[in-house]
Structure 1
């Protein structure tokens, strides 16, 4: 069973399952994060939905690049969680299943290709308190404690 963070699902509401891959991207005592500006701002681990026919690792590389402009290497899955939320950009109530990986940020290729995202580095201890959802914060805390 995958641990749930955040709100309980509402009785009678239909949720669409969305599986996504998300990355802890440490460099020293900092994490590379993304701030989604619209409808936000919302500080997040970079990542997102896995497209049909796409592997989680391929999606992870694509999403991190889109949201941060960085290339990554050596992703390793460290856990998963689920959360129930409304996704205004899709007008969708979703059961998000979040696969969490730790990877090495290798090189910044440029700004994020998704216009509503801004890449930022943050001290891991600060990120634990500022990340926009409890699941992301949980895995940042676990990383801080050595996973």
Structure 2
């Protein structure tokens, strides 16, 4: 599996953290999230897969929490690995990021997660804003397939 970002640091203990993330397109715009804390960054909507939860169930839950949108027709694009520190959990994580495309079906609320905003933006701006190389890679790959 392809890795993006930092390499695994020798001697550091990493916790395996699988997650599900979505590329959401409406017209020519993409829905991304801005997370103000603990870091100020733009990301694909999504997050951790809870123990016993499927990637699809996690994807629906996380997109709703981070954007306030319900989604439909998820389709898996692939996955990548990254190693990072997660200050909100005070742990070093080996993140396995499962990337999906889905259709934003209906906005039912504002984001439920604190410090999150849902942002609609064009493809070029999304690629510039997304904070991690894996998210940018999958967005470019998706755009080439359209």
User: TM-score with structure 2 length normalisation?
Assistant: 0.97
Mapped pair 1:31 → 2:49: no
Q: Does the alignment pair 1:7 with 2:17?
A: no
Give unmatched runs, 5+ long, in structure 2. none
Give distance in 1, aligned partners of 2:39 and 2:46. Answer: 16
Instruction: Write out the 4+ residue segments of structure 1 that deviate beyond 4 Å after TM superposition.
Output: none
Corresponding position of 2:144: 145
C-alpha deviation, 1:126, in angstroms: 1.5
**Separation (CA, whole Å) in 1 of partners of 2:67 and 2:137:** 21
TM alignment of 1:75-86, pairs within 5 A:
75-86=74-85
Unaligned runs of 5+ in 1: none
Aligned to 2:68: 69
Given that 1:125 and 1:141 are in contact with CA atoms closer than 8 Å, whether structure 2 keeps it comes out as no
> Aligned partners of 2:109 and 2:53: how far apart in 1?
24
Deviations 1:64-90 (A, max 9, x none): 000000000000000100100000000
- Figure out how many residues of one structure are paired with residues of the other and give that number: 146
Give the Å deviation of 1:146: 1.5
Q: TM-score, normalised by structure 1?
A: 0.97
- Report how far residue 10 of structure 1 moved: 0.7
Aligned to 1:136: 135
Displacement of 1:40 in angstroms is: 2.0
1: CA distance between counterparts of 2:17 and 2:6?
16
Deviation at 1:63, TM superposition (A): 0.1
Aligned-CA RMSD value: 0.9
Residue in structure 1 matched with residue 55 of structure 2 by the alignment: 56
SS state of the match for residue 111, structure 2?
Answer: coil
Counterpart Cα distance in 1 of 2:13 and 2:90: 13
